[in-house]
Amino acid sequence: MKSKSLEEIDRIIEMAWEDRTPFEAIFNQFNINEKELISIMRNNLKKSSFKLWRERVSGRKTKHSKLRENSVDRFKCKLQRNISNNKISKR
């Protein structure tokens, strides 16, 4: 696995916590598989946060594209702002 910048790691963690972002989307954007993602999460989160995340994503249909019942159409609300470095832009 190629070394990732702090900004990339921050975005990977953010995407991993999102319920509707599948592991395949993280792979397509950052070229890391689920095993590597778990390693990144384990190394960059507190132990308790990592445990919460693992419980949250284990068996979750939305985290695996193949397990989804039907494809989820993505849309962006006009009021939704871009999120960068885990800080939400103010209006």
Give the DSSP per-residue string, 44-83.
Answer: HS-HHHHHHHHHHHTT-GGG-GGG-SSPPPP---TTPPPE
State residue 47's pLDDT score.
96
Residue 3 tokens read as: 């070394």
Would you state the pLDDT for residue 77?
53
Our measurement of the distance from residue 55's CA atom to the centroid of its chain's CA atoms, rounded to an integer in Å, reads: 14
Q: What is the pLDDT of residue 85?
A: 55
pTM, full prediction: 0.65
* pLDDT tens figures, 28-83: 999 999 899 999 999 999 999 999 999 888 877 666 555 555 554 454 555 555 55
